[in-house]
Structure 1
Amino acid sequence: MLDLSVIILTYNEEIHIRRCIENVKQFAKKVYIVDCFSIDKTAEIAKELGAEVVEHKWPGNQAEQFNWALDTLKIDTEWILRLDADEYLQPELIEELQEKLPTMPDNISALSLPLSRAFCGKILHHGIVNNIKIIRIFRTGKARYEKRLMDEHLSVLSGETVELKNQFVDDSRIPIGQFIDKHNRYAAREAALLLDAEYHLTNTDILPQDHGKEVESKRAQKARYARMPLFWRAFGYFIYRYIIKLGFLDGKEGFLWDFLQGWWYRTLVDAKIFEIKRACGNDKEKITKYLKEKYNISLK
């Protein structure tokens, strides 16, 4: 076993949790489930598979929940892997970790992993799913999550980051209806982040350390996106993903992913922004107050 602990944040993940735990049990010394009092069988399945389950009330975002886990769990392994319940590591990545992690130089504090996306049970190969790398493994005490409403990433506090070759997979199996409900909830937070990027309402990042080149590039792109015209940018983003980046080559699954996540979701975000601007104009204080009163979103 690798000298590594896995932390998985959960709420009603019985559809995914068995696959996830069985995947990491192949190589991890310890598996921690930080659950938000699930009302399904998430905790029961996790305990059955030998994971340690800790219940903690949802603080409002994943960053605070994960940092609470780092501060509270008695982790005694050298490395930590942060994984979502609907994710798993490809066999090739497990082999790469088993080969490289035990001999990783002391100056390396974090590992950046390539992300592969699956939708409706099919791994996608086109659109914007390629070349995404995310820091997910780090030495204990060497990283924390920045404070953000969503799209949060690990900040490496010291040391260097290296990129691994093989992939982990984001493979949610929730029904389309739940996917839509989930993204409807995300849309208000995404709208708040875009308004923040446009009006500089506040600085949502509290840690200036390294997040990885991919993350910094993505956020620069989002800042440019925030300056583009409402609604047209959502349509243009779909065309970019589905036509220019060849998303159509992934068949029906590729169309659904690019349409729902790329056009429908982005249009919904813009609709919320349109609604907020119509109510508040360009007044920063009014926008901030509106977000708090209507969506319970605080950028402070």
Structure 2
Amino acid sequence: MQDISAFIITYNEEIHIERAIKNAQKYAKDVYVLDSYSTDKTVEIAKSLGANVYQHKFRYHADQLNWGLKNIPFKTEWIWRQDADEYLTDELIKEIDQTLPHTTTNITAFTAPCLRKFLGKHIKHGILPLILLRLFKRGYAQWEDKKMDEHIYVTKGEIGSLKNAFFDDNLNNLSWWTEKHNRYASKEAIDLLMTEYGLYKDTVVNSGEHSAAIRRKKLKYIKMPLFWRAFAFFVLRYIFRLGFLDGKEGFLWHFLQGFWYRTLADAKVFEIKKEHGFDSSKIKTFLKENYLNK
């Protein structure tokens, strides 16, 4: 086992937290849970499994994660940022164990592929693996201060890559999933508008080549017509990238996440624009007063 801490943020994750912590204990010397005052048994379970539990009021993900980096007394050289509904494969754990002892000092972070399970099925078609920066040296990384689609980035050094994957495998039902994505669609709408009107700070962060490519694609997506872009995204993934090969679960994933969710975000963009008479100056004022630096 290498000199790694696991960093998990939670809110009402009793359905996932035992699996997450037991998985983290396979690769991490210490497991830290930053909880947002859960009302279920998340904290009780985490403590019973030996995790170090801290609590902080949740504002938005980037704020919570950066608070954790500043205030949790991590002792290890490396930190793996793990969501409560994620787990590392044994192959990835073995790769980390073999890679870190031979890592040069200029490498301060690593990316790894994130694979998706939906309704218990591995979605193999239609989507490309997300290559996410998750392993980093303590003191060398932080999150962008954004309300949605925030990226972790290194403040110094270079980023290496791990070949084996970890899984995003949420065990909640579809009602929970749709409620969550309704909330996310509101955040996504604001993020789309903030990007469209150039209200974010013009900074370039080092999150790896894959994250940079995603940013470029998102900028192209924003320039496409509302609603049509969501439909085109669904067709690309479900038809041209063969998403239909994953059966009913594949259809539901691509329809709900690739079309419904993005259409809902576009509807909320349209609603905001319509409320302000499609006047860009009024829309900018609304965004600045309600979301910028809030």
Q: Does 1:94 align with 2:93?
A: yes
Rounded to whole Å, the distance in 1 between the matches of 2:272 and 2:45 is 42
Task: Output the amino acid matched with 2:19.
Answer: R
What does residue range 63-212 of structure 1 map to in structure 2 within 5 Å?
Answer: 63-128=62-127, 130-200=128-198, 202-204=199-201, 208-212=204-208
Aligned partner letter, 1:36: S
Compute the TM-score of the two structures, normalised by the length of structure 2: 0.96
Q: Does 1:16 align with 2:31?
A: no
Q: C-alpha deviations, 1:182-213, integer Å up to 9, x for none?
A: 0110111111111122221x1157x6331111
Q: How far off its partner does 1:285 sit?
A: 4.6
Check whether the contact 2:197–2:284 (CA below 8 A) recurs between aligned residues.
no
Q: Distance in 2 between the 1:11 and 1:284 partners?
A: 37
What CA distance in whole angstroms lies between the structure 1 residues aligned with 2:292 and 2:171? 31
SS at match of 1:262: helix
Structure-2 separation of matches of 1:162 and 1:81: 14
Report the 3-state secondary structure (helix = DSSP H, G, I; strand = E; otherwise coil) of the residue aligned with 1:106.
Answer: coil
Correspondence for 1:245 among 241, 257, 261: 241
Conservation of the 8 A alpha-carbon contact between 1:276 and 1:290 = no
One-letter amino acid matched to 2:180: K
Q: Deviations over 1:60-112 (max 9, x none)?
A: 21111111111111111010000100000011001101111122111110000
Aligned to 2:61: 62
Report the Cα distance in structure 2 between the residues aligned to 1:284 and 1:254, rounded to whole angstroms. 38
Which secondary structure state, in structure 2, belongs to the residue aligned with residue 267 of structure 1? helix
2:40 match: 40
Gaps of 5+ in 2: none
After superposition, the C-alpha distances for 1:26-61 in whole angstroms (9 at most, x for unaligned) are 121000000000000100110111101101111x21
> Structure 1: any 5+ residue segments left out of the alignment?
none
Secondary structure of the residue aligned to 2:82 is: strand
Task: Provide, for residues 142-199 of structure 1, a one-character-per-residue CA deviation record: whole Å limited to 9, x for no partner.
Answer: 1111111111111111111111110010111111001110011011111111112222
CA RMSD of aligned residues (A): 1.6
* Residues 148 and 204, structure 1, Cα contact 8 Å, conserved in 2: no
Deviations 1:92-148 (A, max 9, x none): 0011011111221111100001110110011111111x3421100001111111111
Rate the CA distance shift 1:111–1:253 in 2: closer, same or farther, 3 A: same
Separation of aligned partners in 2, 1:36 and 1:131: 29
Query: TM (normalized to structure 1)?
Result: 0.94
Q: Deviations over 1:244-298 (max 9, x none)?
A: 11111111111111000010001101111111111113434532454588xx644
Q: 1:257: which partner in 2? A: 253
CA separation in 2, counterparts of 1:217 and 1:291?
Answer: 26
Q: Secondary structure at the match of 1:109?
A: strand
CA contact (8 A) 1:10 1:85 kept: yes
For the residue of structure 2 that corresponds to 1:28, the secondary structure is coil
**Identical residues among aligned pairs (%):** 51
Aligned to 1:2, what secondary structure does the other structure show?
A: coil
The one-letter code of the counterpart of 1:94 is: I
Q: 2: distance between equivalents of 1:227 and 1:156?
A: 29
Q: C-alpha distance in 2, partners of 1:99/1:22?
A: 21
Q: Distance in 1 between matches of 2:277 and 2:210?
A: 33
Contact 2:111/2:133 (<8 A) preserved: yes
Aligned length: 294
- Give the secondary-structure state (helix, strand or coil) at the position aligned to 1:177: helix
| 8 Å contact from structure 2 (residues 109, 137) kept in 1 | yes
